[in-house]
Amino acid sequence: MRPPGRRALPIQLLIYLAVAALAVAAALYAIEVMRMRGIQAGFGFLKNTAGFEIGFKLIRFDSTDSYGRAFVVALLNTLLVSGLSVVLGTAIGLLVAVARLAPIPAIKAAATMYVEAIRNTPLLFQLLALYAVSLAVLPPPRDSITVVGLALVNNRGIFLPSAGMTARAALAAIALVLLLAAYGWLSRRRSLGRPVLALTAIIAVALAASTLASMDWVVPKVLGFNVEGGIALVPELAVLVVALSLYSAAFIAETFRSGFLAVPAGQWHAAFALGLDRAATIRGVVLAQALRACLPALASQYINVIKASSLAAAVGFPDLMQVFGKTTLNQTGQAVEVIALTMAVYLVMSMTIAGAVHGYERRVAMER
Amino acid sequence: MGTSAASRWNVSVQSNLRTGRAHSPSIWQRIAPNRASAVALLLALLVVGVAAPPMFQWAVLDATFPGSARTHCEVRGACWLFVAERLPQFLYGYYPAPERWRLHLIAAGIAAWCAMLMLPAFRRRLDVAIGAISVGLAAGYVLAAGGMFGLPKVETNLWGGLFVTLILSLTAMVASFPAGVALALARHARNPILRGLSGAFVEIIRGVPLLAILFLAVVLIPLFIPADGGIGLFARVVVGLCLYASAYMAEAIRGSLQSIPRGQFDAAAALGLRYWPAMRLVILPQVMRRAIPNIINTFIQILKDSTLVLIVGVFDLLGMVNLAVSDPKWMTNSTEGFVFAGLVFFVLCFTMSRLSLRAERLLSKGEGRVP
């Protein structure tokens, strides 16, 4: 394999020039098309009034707010969905991985069936099926399912009691935090003994109870065809988080499993020889080593979760893709800017995670 | 059966006593090796015993099947009548019924190609196989679209169902092959511009959701290409899916390209081979062999992700099922529709994942052997 000869140089240069010329021509054409359609290029539109409502938001937003604020609201929704799914998916994935490695055939078979069923069907299929089936099964608001008299479940979503802060609740909460901090600080200096622990626990429980009791609770109630009061989790959010976590859990379980298998058998044997049981061995010896081995693969699963959260657009949950990639794009017609911005946000999120893991790996590698 | 299980067990226990070695476990010891296993097994059987009868009742006993001469469904059981009634749409979309033989012909062609791969003479000729399927797919598009050779034209907005799922994912798979090889080689090249361009392309595509790429293709292609309505929605979606598939294929191939020992490159150079002959004769055959499991896994991912086209308005199998269950008449039968779609996807993906496992096992057997 000789390096490319000198003769190749002009040909390469020609190819680069041709590609560059093509890109410039396409860009010029696009600018011309946009001018003909009367679209002002640039990101100035972010200051304009959005004029649409967003069904689920973490911060205040109404139709008089700007596209820029809609962008922030949508981005927060994407982060909420991804964050919840990552946490739930990791927890379920860890359980499934342990089950797949269990020396008990029935449990192993159940976990394997779960992983195969999830991995061999599309995520969008699972999402749409879960959405359709749960909307069909759940009752209308009038016949809501009541959970312990506090929460309501119906086909409009899950309604939890909301808690407003009051001065008394805040005082009790501050006292609780101070108590726990003081106990933690003292117990690190010298051992405090059981009576002190019991007394602290009793006071802490009492303080926690009084915090909860003196908060301003609003229990959701059915009024006619609707539900009043409380925190509303729209069904789209619930379905999206459940589908995403179940899907990612199957892949995360496989990641953990290969991480566990990468831990040498001698580590297990050594732990057993020390008299640790299976659970203690996993917690104290194997888990930390397995995590280190599977961290890069785990990070790429988390990136996949963030990317997959864009399927919110299929069930109409207002995430970044739905609010920006669909609604804003259709209203403003600023296709290039909107798509570039949306892609850039996902790219930044992916690269941040990848970069963080890369940095961590290098640090760990140096410590070895 | 000359020796019964009991006598064999006796023999194994005796030999066990004599040698002190573990005997081969019996079937019971294999199913439930200890008390915890037995409890878990009983629990599992209990769950199956509680859950299975109502499911069986719903799916079979109370269900309405198409052959039963009933036009309406029982309220309680599954309504397979619905799936049967909508089956043509699930398979062909709105493709006109008198023209459906064309799709059958395409399906037969794909089946013939798969059969050809099984023949030992073709198994090693990847180039022939890819060439055949490329030509076949192009012919398939011409056949399905019509408007030539006296065939009536069938607009792509009538295409749908399993046909679209298969042709979309096959196109993306086939197109991603040469593109993936080119991108992987470019990223491995000495030329920094080539390396930078291909690296940027692959990382950008892999860093954003497929949905963003599909929106990009659907919305931006008409802005950049000077043809008024010349490129239909279907074609734009195909372009988007191919871009996506190429980036992932490039990574699958690059992974095994990096695992090729440096000595192979040096040996090819020592034989006096220039870049392309060295790649074609020495490097790529090894790369492909090692990449097969990864490539099949990428294929599974492409097939699963091709469902996303329904969000931009191309109705594949999942899109048709989703459309059918949003019809008020069949609103209560969404479960049956999704069971059907799920089974089809599962069979396709599961078959491919078994193939990938088999390839992996075959490869690990051949690895490290001196010819």
Question: DSSP readout, B306-334?
Answer: GGGGGGGT--BHHHHHHHHHTSGGGGGGH
Specify the CATH number for the domain of residue B272. 1.10.3720.10
Contact B223 A33 (CB under 8 A): yes
User: What was the pLDDT predicted at A7?
Assistant: 53
In the structure encoding, which two tokens stand for residue B307, read together? Answer: 């469902």
Q: Cα separation of A283 and A273, whole Å?
A: 16
> Is the pLDDT score of B23 beyond 60?
no
pLDDT digits (tens, 9 = 90+) for A126-151: 999 888 888 877 777 777 777 777 77
CB B162 within 8 A of CB B90: yes
User: What was the pLDDT predicted at B306?
Assistant: 92
Contact B32 A105 (CB under 8 A): yes
Whether B305 contacts chain A with CB within 8 A: yes
pLDDT digits (tens, 9 = 90+) for B192-232: 888 888 888 998 898 899 999 999 888 888 777 766 556 78
Percent of chain B residues topping a pLDDT of 90: 15
Does residue B219 belong to any structural domain of this protein?
yes
Does residue B79 belong to any structural domain of this protein?
no
Report the SS3 class of residue A346. helix
Candidates A335, A309, A331; CA nearest to A320 is: A309
CA distance A29 to chain B (A): 6
Domain count, chain B: 1
Which of B:246-265 have CB within 8 Å of A?
265
The pLDDT confidence band at residue B328, using thresholds 50, 70 and 90, is: confident
> Is the pLDDT score of B354 beyond 80?
yes
Q: Cα separation of B316 and B309, whole Å?
A: 7
In the structure encoding, which two tokens stand for residue B220, read together? Answer: 């931006």
Q: Please list the alpha-helical segments (H only) found in B119-191.
A: 120-123, 126-145, 161-187
> B327-362 in b/e burial notation, b at 16+ Cβ within 10 A?
eeebeebbbbbbbbbbebbbebbbebbeebeebeee
**Residue of A3, A106, A307 lying closest to B209 (CB–CB):** A307
CA distance A9 to chain B (A): 11
Report the SS3 class of residue A62. coil
Which of B:184-243 have CB within 8 Å of A?
190-191, 193, 204, 206-212, 215-216, 219-220, 223-226
CA distance B146 to chain A (A): 31
Whether B325 contacts chain A with CB within 8 A: yes
The pLDDT confidence band at residue B247, using thresholds 50, 70 and 90, is: very high
DSSP assignments along A197-231, one per residue: HHHHHHHHHHHHHHHHHTSEEE--EEETTEEESSE
CA distance A198 to chain B (A): 35
Does residue B344 belong to any structural domain of this protein?
yes
- Measured CA distances, B182 to B192, B197, B260 (Å): 15, 12, 17
Q: Please list the alpha-helical segments (H only) found in chain A.
A: 8-36, 67-101, 105-119, 123-137, 167-189, 194-213, 235-262, 265-273, 278-281, 287-308, 312-315, 320, 329-332, 335-367
Q: Which domain holds residue B169?
A: 89-95+154-366
User: What was the pLDDT predicted at B333?
Assistant: 76
Candidates A307, A310, A267, A261; CA nearest to A285 is: A267
User: What was the pLDDT predicted at B93?
Assistant: 81
Does residue B210 belong to any structural domain of this protein?
yes
Closest B-chain CA to A4: B275
> Is the pLDDT score of B367 beyond 60?
no
Does residue B327 belong to any structural domain of this protein?
yes
Alpha-carbon Rg of chain B, whole angstroms? 27
User: What was the pLDDT predicted at B12?
Assistant: 44
Q: Please list the alpha-helical segments (H only) found in B208-306.
A: 210-215, 221-224, 233-258, 262-270, 275-278, 284-305
> Is the pLDDT score of B7 beyond 70?
no
User: What was the pLDDT predicted at B229?
Assistant: 56
> Is the pLDDT score of B8 beyond 60?
no
pLDDT digits (tens, 9 = 90+) for A91-115: 999 889 888 888 777 788 888 999 9
Does residue B124 belong to any structural domain of this protein?
no
**Residue of A106, A132, A339 lying closest to B220 (CB–CB):** A339
User: What was the pLDDT predicted at A147?
Assistant: 73
User: What was the pLDDT predicted at B55?
Assistant: 80
Does residue B304 belong to any structural domain of this protein?
yes
Does residue B241 belong to any structural domain of this protein?
yes
pLDDT digits (tens, 9 = 90+) for B72-130: 666 677 777 777 778 888 888 888 887 778 888 888 888 888 888 777 766 667 777 78
Q: What is the mean pLDDT of residues A347-351?
A: 90
The pLDDT confidence band at residue B25, using thresholds 50, 70 and 90, is: low
Whether B16 contacts chain A with CB within 8 A: no
pLDDT digits (tens, 9 = 90+) for A227-283: 777 777 788 888 899 999 999 999 999 998 888 888 888 888 999 899 888 888 888
